Structure 1
Amino acid sequence: MSTMLITSHPAPVREAIGRHRDALDADPVAYLEENGTRLTEASRAAAASYLGMHPAHVALTDSTTMGVGLIYTGLKVGPGQEVLTTDEDYYVTHESLRHLTDATGATERRISLFDDISEATDGGIVQRIVDAIRPETRLLALTWVHSSTGLKIPVGSIAVALQEINAGRDEQDHVLFGLDAVHGFGVETDSFFDLGVDFLMAGCHKWLFGPRGTGIAAISERGLGAVRPIVPTFDDARVFSRWYAGEDYALSNNGRTLTPGGFKDFEHRWALAEAFALHEEIGRARVAERTHTLAGDLKDALAGIRGVSVVTPRQPGLSAGIVCFDVEGLEPEEVVSRLRSRSVVASVAPYPSAHVRLTPSIRNSEAEIEAAARAVRSII
C-alpha cells in the first residue's frame, strides 16, 4: 500500500516504455528525430484532456518537486508582496518559496489550517485562509491532500473565496492560487477548472500509475502571465529558431516554453499517454469511488483496533487515499518495520509530527485491506 510513494508500471505503460526503449536502442537518433515531437505532444495532449484544458497550458516535468520548483521560483513578485502558505505544507513548497523570496525580496508567511485535525471542517479551513489574506498577498500556495495526515482540503471552495477577494482588486494584485496536487491527481475527478487554481503541479508516477520520472504543471491564462521560465526549453521550437536566427525570442509563455529542455528519459515521457488512457478506460469516477471505498474500509478497520488512533479524517470529503494512524507505545518507524516484515508496505510521514501511512488504491483488494488490518493488530 505504497502508491503515495511510487507505483509499479501497469502493463500498458510497461509495454509502451519497452517499445520506445527498444526503438531508441536500435536507432536513437532517427527514432528521436522522427517521433520525438509527435510523442511528446501526445503525452501533453493526454494530460490536458484529463484535466479538461488546452495542451498549450500544460508543461511536462519530471516530478511534483520539479513542477513546484519551476512555478514558484519563477513567479513574478517583488518587495512589498508576500506569498502565503501553511504550516501543514511539505518541504518542497516551503523550500521553493524560500528560493523565491531570497531572489525577489518578497516575503513568505505561514498559517495553520486547523488547531486539531479531528475538528477540521471545510468551512473552518476556508475561513482561516480568507482571514489570512492581506492586500500584499500575491500567491496562496497549498497542497490538495496532505501527505502528513491524509487531510484533503476544499480546493474548489477556497478558489471561490479567492474569486470574491480578487473581484475587488486590480488584476496585477490578484491572489494567485498554486496547488501541489499529487495526492489528489489520479484519485479525484475534478478538472482543472473545477478546482479553480492557477497552477497545478503533480507527479504522474503515483496515483496515476504513470511512468517513473514523469509529472505535469498545468497553468491558467492568468498564471501564464505571472510566471517566467526557469530552464531553457526545446519544446517550443520558436524560442530556439529565433535565437538561432538572432531575432528577439521573448515570447509569451505557454506550457511548452515552461517545459524544461534537455535530454530526458524519453521512453518514460512518451509512455505517459498510456497511463492517462488507462485511467480513462477504467473511468475516473470508478477510480475515485474505489479508492475512497478502500480507504474508508481501512480507516474503519484500524479504528476498531485497541491502541490504534486514526489521524486521517473519516469523512470522504476531507480525505482521499492516504490513511495515517498511530499505534500506542510504538514509534512510527517501528510500526513500519514490523508491518513490512509481515509483507505490508507502509511508510512514515516525513514531518516533525510523524505518523504511519497506508495508501490503498485500485490495485488493492478488499482482502488486502483486511490483511493489512490484521497485520496491524498482530504487532500490538
Structure 2
Amino acid sequence: ILTSEHDHYSHHESIRFSAARSGASVRYIPLYDSGALANADQIVDRIGRAITAKTRAVGVTWVHSSSGVKLPIARIAEVVARANRGRASADRCLLIVDGVHGFGNQDVDVARLGADFFASGTHKWLFAPRGTGFLWGRADAWPELRPTIPSFDPDGIDTTFGAWADRAELPPTQASFVSPGGFLAYEHLLAVPAAVELHRAIGRDRIAARIAELNAAFRAGAAGIPGLTMHTPRDPALSGGISCFEVRGMTPGQVVARLAEKKIRTTTSPYKVSYARVSAGIMNKLEEIELVLREIRTLAA
C-alpha cells in the first residue's frame, strides 16, 4: 500500500489496520517538501516513481487538511492507469481517494476523476448531518473488496441474507454488500437528500466559484502580512477551501484562542506539526475575510 506522509489520522489508521489484517506493507512518501511551494508535476512524479510491481493500492487525500494542498487527482489517476498496463487483473493497483475536503466545494464530477474508490463525509461542505457520508466505486472495482460487516442494504439484502441462510458463498462483491450494517439513524440519512437539493439549487459551479473567491482573497491578503507564514499554495489548481498558516512567536492554539476572543472561528490542524487554519464557506462574506485579516495583522504586529 502506497500513501503519503500528509494524510489524516483516519486515513492512515485505516490503512494500518487493513495492512495488519492482510499482511501488506505500507510505504509513506512526501509529495512535496513545502505546502506553499507544492508543484503538480512534482506530486505526480513522486507518486509515479514510488509505485512498484508490488503496489496494490495508492491511497491519497484530495485536499490535505494539514496544509490545504489540493492534489491533482486526475493526473494521479493517469499515473496509476499507466502502472496497471500489462498487469493481470489480480495484480491491479487501485487508486483510493479520501475526498472529504474537496467534495462539495469543487465543480468536479467525482466519477470523472479516475479514482477506483472515492470516500467522503457529507457534513463538511455539503452541510449534511455528522455521521453521514458515502463511498463511490467503479463498477469493475467493487469485486476487489471483501465485505467486513453484514449488510442490511435493501439493494443487496436478498442476496446477502440468502447466502447466509443457505450457508453459501457470496457472489462477487457489489456496492450493497459493503454498506453499513445494523439500523441506521434515519433522521440523519433522510436529511442527506435535503442537503444535496440545497447544493443543487444554489449550483455547484456557483458554490465552487464563491469558495475559491473567498479563500483566494484570504490567502492574497495573508501573503502581505509581516510575520505570517502561509503554508497553502495560492495557485487555485493546488488549493481549495482551507488555508493553513502560522504567526511568528505564537502557537497555532494561541492564534485560534485570540481570534476566538473576537468571535472569529478558526481551527488548528490535528497533526504532529500543526498550523492555524482559516476556511471560508458560502455562508461567509468578503467583509468577514477582511475582518479576519485585520485581526491577524494585529496579532502579527
- In structure 1, stretches of 5+ residues that fail to align are 1-82
Q: Do the aligned partners of 2:119 and 2:135 also contact (CA within 8 Å) in 1?
A: yes
Partner of 1:172: 90
Partner of 1:338: 258
Establish whether residue 212 from structure 1 lines up as the match of residue 130 from structure 2: yes
Partner of 1:352: 272
Pick the aligned partner of 1:163 from 73, 81, 84: 81
Q: Do the aligned partners of 2:160 and 2:177 also contact (CA within 8 Å) in 1?
A: no
Partner of 2:187: 267
Establish whether residue 152 from structure 1 lines up as the match of residue 70 from structure 2: yes
1:245, distance to aligned residue in structure 2 (A): 4.4
Partner of 1:97: 15
1:247, distance to aligned residue in structure 2 (A): 5.6
Partner of 1:234: 152
**Partner amino acid, structure 2, of 1:179:** V
Partner of 1:362: 282
Aligned equivalents of 2:107 and 2:93: distance in 1?
A: 25
The 1:84–1:244 alpha-carbon spacing in structure 2 relative to 1, beyond 3 Å, is closer
Structure 1 segment 277-316 matched on structure 2, within 5 A: 277-316=197-236
Partner of 1:73: none
Deviations 1:295-349 (A, max 9, x none): 0001111122221111100000000000111100000000000011110111101
**Following TM superposition, where does structure 1 have runs of at least 4 consecutive aligned residues deviating by more than 4 angstroms?**
none
Establish whether residue 248 from structure 1 lines up as the match of residue 168 from structure 2: yes
Aligned equivalents of 2:166 and 2:35: distance in 1?
A: 57
Q: Do the aligned partners of 2:74 and 2:114 also contact (CA within 8 Å) in 1?
A: yes
**Partner amino acid, structure 1, of 2:90:** Q
What is the RMSD computed on CA atoms of the aligned residues?
1.4
Aligned equivalents of 1:233 and 1:286: distance in 2?
A: 37
Secondary structure of 1:250's counterpart equals coil
Q: Do the aligned partners of 1:149 and 1:312 also contact (CA within 8 Å) in 2?
A: yes
What percent of counterpart residues are identical? 38
Partner of 1:127: 45
Deviations 1:323-380 (A, max 9, x none): 1111000000000000111101111011111100010011111111111111212223
Secondary structure of 2:56's counterpart equals strand
Partner of 1:80: none
Partner of 1:35: none
Aligned equivalents of 1:147 and 1:352: distance in 2?
A: 12
Aligned equivalents of 2:284 and 2:268: distance in 1?
A: 20
- What is the number of equivalent residue pairs in this alignment? 298
Establish whether residue 321 from structure 1 lines up as the match of residue 241 from structure 2: yes
1:168, distance to aligned residue in structure 2 (A): 2.4
Aligned equivalents of 1:280 and 1:356: distance in 2?
A: 31
**Partner amino acid, structure 2, of 1:99:** F
Aligned equivalents of 1:315 and 1:297: distance in 2?
A: 12
**TM-score normalised by length of structure 2:** 0.95
Q: Do the aligned partners of 1:242 and 1:249 also contact (CA within 8 Å) in 2?
A: no
**TM-score normalised by length of structure 1:** 0.76
1:255, distance to aligned residue in structure 2 (A): 2.1
Q: Do the aligned partners of 2:232 and 2:243 also contact (CA within 8 Å) in 1?
A: yes
Q: Do the aligned partners of 2:126 and 2:196 also contact (CA within 8 Å) in 1?
A: yes
Deviations 1:121-173 (A, max 9, x none): 11110000000010000000000000000000100011012112211211211
Aligned equivalents of 2:206 and 2:130: distance in 1?
A: 24
More RCO (CA 8 Å, sep 6+) = 1
Q: Do the aligned partners of 2:143 and 2:174 also contact (CA within 8 Å) in 1?
A: no
Aligned equivalents of 2:79 and 2:165: distance in 1?
A: 47
Aligned equivalents of 1:341 and 1:118: distance in 2?
A: 28
Establish whether residue 203 from structure 1 lines up as the match of residue 203 from structure 2: no
Secondary structure of 2:183's counterpart equals coil
Q: Which has the higher helix share?
A: 1
**Partner amino acid, structure 1, of 2:215:** A
Which of 93-102 and 326-335 deviates more? 93-102
Aligned equivalents of 1:228 and 1:333: distance in 2?
A: 42
Pick the aligned partner of 2:33 from 103, 112, 115: 115
Q: Do the aligned partners of 1:204 and 1:212 also contact (CA within 8 Å) in 2?
A: yes
Secondary structure of 2:127's counterpart equals coil
- In structure 2, stretches of 5+ residues that fail to align are none
Aligned equivalents of 1:315 and 1:373: distance in 2?
A: 19
1:191, distance to aligned residue in structure 2 (A): 1.4
Q: Do the aligned partners of 1:138 and 1:174 also contact (CA within 8 Å) in 2?
A: yes
